[in-house]
Amino acid sequence: MSSKKILVVGELNIDLILNDIHGFPEIGAEKLAENMEFTLGSSSAILASNISALGISTSFCGLLGEDNFGEFILEELRNKNVDTRFVSLSKEHKTGITVVMNYDQDRANVTFCGAMNELTINHIPWKNITEFDHLHFSSYFLQPGMQPNIVNLFKKAKEAGLSTSLDLQVDPINKWDFDYKNCLPFVDIFLPNENELLNLSGKNNLEDAIETIKNYSNTLALKLGDKGGRIVTDSEDILIKPYLNKAYKDAIGAGDSFNAGFLKKFLEGATLKECLDFANLTGSLNTTAAGGTGAFGDAKEIEIKIQEIRNNKL
């Protein structure tokens, strides 16, 4: 494990993934799926699991129901050597679940949030915060308990000497009510995808969106899917093409794996260009297995697969 330590704060839920579905859902009709996966879900947990598999010492802070789904998630995290000391259990709230309906490279999701709604800034292990070098937070819009104190979360982490990162993810009610002007100055690495940046900025094209947000962000690490990734800072604007592979299964968690690769290299002191290149590799690796964590086995296996992707042999 790396000497650097990351604390991931965020939502925890199960993913129930349906593949090879015969048509789109209709009221009053039943559709069949040929394949099903039951796996660890949620942006935060996928990142934590995969960055741990990449060799970064990782701890998680979140909230689960005291139920079978919660036990499954804890076991999955621990199997990836994620420290779960700071995961709390609730008797009043159930563990969340997302039903994912996959259609080629797109998907429709239905999420029951459950316990993730109740996570607040008071759950953060502030007494232990100096154990860590970095704090990451994902899925702002799915966690109403964290929203009133999101600026304070990053401000306190920075005051404690940590570097920070944020992945907003999608707003299910499409309001995009996030105080980026006050929050992003305390975020070292902001990790949106193209659609999220457009929605957050209220702009119709990517360049205008970047111009709007970069006035407040430190490092904008932009996920562009099959167009690769882009870094924008005050002094740098770097676009790196994606690493496409022939072993594509699904794209669930690909953005979270991009984040994991980027943050691993960032914590190891790499240049932003090196961070972005490795993020593209880990995002591509993610798509070679079903679900968000299936492609991230042991360290040797990951290294072999990444080299095969880099050399266009996978």
What does the DSSP assignment read for 51-94? HHHTT-EEEEEEEEESSHHHHHHHHHHHHTT-EEEEEEEESSSP
What pLDDT is recorded for position 250?
A: 83
For residue 153, give the nearest of 138, 142, 170 by alpha carbon: 138
- How many whole angstroms separate alpha carbon 194 and alpha carbon 222? 7
Decide if 33 is inside a domain. no
Token reading at 8: 């991931």
Share of the chain above pLDDT 70, in %: 99
Decide if 29 is inside a domain. no
Q: Do residues 280 and 258 make contact, with C-beta atoms less than 8 angstroms apart?
A: yes
Token reading at 269: 């002191």
Q: Are strands 229-232 and 237-240 parallel, antiparallel or unpaired?
A: antiparallel
Token reading at 246: 């022939």
What pLDDT is recorded for position 269?
A: 97
Decide if 104 is inside a domain. no
- Confidence category of residue 2, pLDDT binned at 50, 70, 90: low
In single-letter form, the type of residue at position 89 comes to: L
pLDDT at 105 over 80: no
- Label residues 31-56 b or e (16+ Cβ within 10 Å = b): eeeeeebebbbbbbbbbbbbbbbbbb
pLDDT per residue over 201-224, tens digit each?
999 999 999 999 999 999 999 999
Q: Which DSSP symbol is given to 212?
A: H
Give the mean model confidence (pLDDT) for residues 39-43: 93
- Confidence category of residue 291, pLDDT binned at 50, 70, 90: confident
Confidence (pTM): 0.94
Decide if 245 is inside a domain. yes
In single-letter form, the type of residue at position 311 comes to: N
Helix (H, G, I), strand (E, B) or coil at 268: coil
Report the domain count for the chain: 1
CATH number of the domain at 174, please.
Answer: 3.40.1190.20
Q: Do residues 140 and 172 make contact, with C-beta atoms less than 8 angstroms apart?
A: no
Decide if 26 is inside a domain. no
Decide if 101 is inside a domain. no
Decide if 172 is inside a domain. yes
Decide if 24 is inside a domain. no
What pLDDT is recorded for position 3?
A: 85
- Confidence category of residue 106, pLDDT binned at 50, 70, 90: confident
pLDDT per residue over 223-271, tens digit each?
999 899 999 999 999 999 999 898 988 888 999 999 999 999 999 999 9
* Domain around 276: 5-12+45-95+116-310
Token reading at 174: 């499409």
pLDDT at 197 over 80: yes
